[in-house]
Amino acid sequence: MNYYVLFCQSLKIEKLYHTFNLKKDTEAFIPRMERYIRSKDKIVIQNMFPGYLFIKTKMNQTEFDTLLLLMKEERDGVIRELKKEEVSALTKEEIKLLDILLNKQYLLVMSKGYKVNGRTKIIEGPLKKLEEHIVAVDKKSHEAVLNIEFLNKKLKAGIEMQNKEV
């Protein structure tokens, strides 16, 4: 299975999401994450990568490029396909990372953890498998920063810090 990433106009991303999901052999998804909004004191769901649409398909690069070309008006809103070295498919490592982070609804849920000897210990959630990659935790914004880059940005994930092990 290949994963391709399209950079899209934000106002048209939902329409493109539905368009690709109606196509045979493609599954589009928008990775989302639970995020704590301090001013409202509640958790909301936001896009992890605003403006990016992910496509899962068995198509190779040439077949996917051809599909995009044939879509003409249907692809209105696609700004560009993310490509590196002429290949836009995510690497196996990037796909594995998404599989660890996202649940079946492509949502990154909040993890739970606590500090022990200056290190963050995760007791629940997707960050459990990535604990050693946590480089900073902001308790106020309920956010963990990982030393992993994805789409040229340091990865951030929601975390609820507790005082001690439960």
pLDDT of residue 152: 82
Same-domain pairing of 6 and 84: yes
Same-domain pairing of 42 and 119: no
Is the pLDDT at 87 greater than 70? The verdict is no
| CATH number of the structural domain spanning residue 15 | 3.30.70.940
Last residue of a domain, one of 90, 124, 151: 90
Same-domain pairing of 69 and 134: no
Is the pLDDT at 86 greater than 70? The verdict is no
- Could you give the number of structural domains in the chain? 2
The average pLDDT across 116-140 equals 93
Q: Is the pTM of this model over 0.85?
A: yes
Instruction: Please check whether residue 98 is in contact with residue 147, taking contact to mean a CB–CB distance below 8 angstroms.
Output: no
Alpha carbon 74 to its chain centroid, in Å, reads 24
Q: What is the pLDDT of residues 15-72, one digit of tens each?
A: 999 999 999 999 999 999 999 988 888 999 999 999 999 999 999 999 999 999 999 8
104 in any annotated domain: no
- Please tell me the distance from the alpha carbon of residue 49 to that of residue 2, in angstroms, as a whole number: 19
Q: In 72-158, where does DSSP find H-type helix?
A: 92-101
Same-domain pairing of 11 and 66: yes
Same-domain pairing of 79 and 9: yes
Same-domain pairing of 67 and 131: no
Same-domain pairing of 86 and 15: yes
Q: What is the pLDDT of residues 146-163, one digit of tens each?
A: 999 988 889 999 999 988
Instruction: Please check whether residue 157 is in contact with residue 166, taking contact to mean a CB–CB distance below 8 angstroms.
Output: no
Q: What is the pLDDT of residues 99-126, one digit of tens each?
A: 999 999 999 999 999 999 889 999 999 9
**pLDDT more than 70, % of the chain:** 95
For 20, 41, 51, the CA distances from 6, given in Å and listed in that order, are 11, 33, 8
Is the pLDDT at 137 greater than 70? The verdict is yes
What is the residue range of 7's domain?
Answer: 2-90
Give the sheet arrangement for strand 32-37, strand by strand.
42-47, 32-37, 107-108
Same-domain pairing of 86 and 120: no
Same-domain pairing of 83 and 115: no
136 in any annotated domain: yes
Structure tokens belonging to residue 137 = 């935790």
Same-domain pairing of 69 and 116: no
Last residue of a domain, one of 61, 90, 119: 90
Same-domain pairing of 65 and 117: no
Instruction: Compute the CA torsion angle 75, 79, 84, 87 (nearest 10 deg).
Output: 10
Q: pLDDT category, 145, cuts 50, 70, 90? A: very high
